[in-house]
Structure 1
C-alpha cells in the first residue's frame, strides 16, 4: 500500500517539490533523509534538493538505500535491516489520452491528496502532516537518523515539539586489555 508524500524546497509562498508514491510516513522517510543529508550529500541541502527534486523526470515511485551511500555500515543496517534497494522513478504511468506523462509538481495548492510533505530547509526538514496542518515543525539536520519518529499526523503541528523519542543507546565495545609492557613480558618469560 502506498503512502503518498512529497519532497520539496521552500518558496516565498510555501513550497514546490516532487511526488513520492511509497513509504511516506515520518518513521521511514525522516531517517533516510537525515542520513542522506549527513553522509551522501555531505551536509549540502542544495545538492540533495537537486538530486531529489530536480533530477527526476516525472515522480518517484520510492526512495531507496542508494541515498545511504557513504553512511556507516552499522547505520545502514540499523535503518534497513541490512537490505538494499535502489530509488525508482515512476515509469509505468499511462495517461487517458495516450500522451506522454508530464512531471508531477507538488505545491501547497495541490497537495491535499497526499499524506505527508517534507520541505528541505537550510535548518532542517519541515514535516507537514497534510491531514492536520498546512505547515509543520522542523527536524534539525543534525538529528540522529536512528531517532524514532511518530507517524501520528495530529502530533506534527506548527509550534509543537517534534514527536520523536531518542534513539536506543548503543553499548560501547568492551575495553580491550592494555598490552603488556616490555618489562612485564620479559618477566613473564623467565
Structure 2
C-alpha cells in the first residue's frame, strides 16, 4: 500500500511540486531528504529541487537510495539497510480514456485530495505538511541530523508546534538495558 506525498518548492502563493507514490511518511521521507541535501546535493537546495521536481516527466513512483550517494556508509545502512535501489519515475501511465497521462503539478489548491503528506523544500529547511490535519506545517532545519527519528502521527505535525522528533542516542544502549524511549530505527521500505 502506498503513502502518497509530494515534494515541492515554495511559490509566492504557497508551493508547487511533484507527486511521490511510495513511502511518504515523515519517518522515512525526512531522513532521506535531509541526507540527500547534506551529502548528495552538497547543501544546495536549488540543485536538489531541480532534480526532485523539475527533472521528472510525470511523477515519482519512489525515491531511492541513489539520493544517499555521498552519505557515510553507516548512515546509508541505517536509513535503507543493505539493500540499494534507484529512484524510479512513473512510466507508461495512462488516463481512464487511454490517453497518455501528463505531468500534474501539486499545489496548495489540489494537494489535499491527492496526498497525505507534503514536503516543501524551503531555503531554511523542509516544511512538513500533514494534509489531513493542516495546510501548513513545522519546518525541519536543513542541519537536522538525518539519524533523527520522526513521528508519523498526523495530528502532531501542526503549524506553530515543534517537530515531533527524537534525537538518536549518542551511543548504543547495552543489550541488557534497551532504552524504551529509543526504538530501533525502521529502515526505508522498498517497493
TM-score range (shorter-chain normalised) is 0.7 to 0.9
Could you list the per-position Cα deviations for residues 127-155 of structure 1 after superposition, in whole angstroms to 9, with x for gaps in the alignment? 00001000000000000001000000100
Count of residues in correspondence between the two structures: 171
Q: CA deviation at 1:170?
A: 3.3
CA distance in 1 between counterparts of 2:53 and 2:83 reads 25
TM-score by length of 1: 0.88
| Counterpart-to-counterpart distance in 2, 1:115 and 1:168 | 30
**Alpha-carbon shift at residue 92 of structure 1 (Å):** 3.4
Q: Which residue of 1 aligns with 2:52?
A: 52
> Within 1, Cα distance between the matches of 2:47 and 2:101?
26
RMSD over aligned Cα atoms: 0.9
Q: Normalising by the residue count of structure 2, what TM-score does the alignment of the two structures yield?
A: 0.88
Bigger drift between 75-84 and 31-40 goes to 75-84
Name the CA distance, whole Å, in 2 between partners of 1:81 and 1:169: 20
Task: Considering Cα pairs closer than 8 Å and 6+ residues apart, tell me whether 1 or 2 has the greater RCO.
Answer: 2
Which residues in structure 2 correspond to 1:20-99 (within 5 Å)? Answer: 20-99=20-99
- 1:158 is aligned to 159
Q: Which runs of 5+ in 2 are unaligned?
A: 173-191
Match of 2:126 in 1: 125
In the TM superposition, structure 1's runs of 4+ consecutive aligned residues that sit over 6 Å from their partners are none
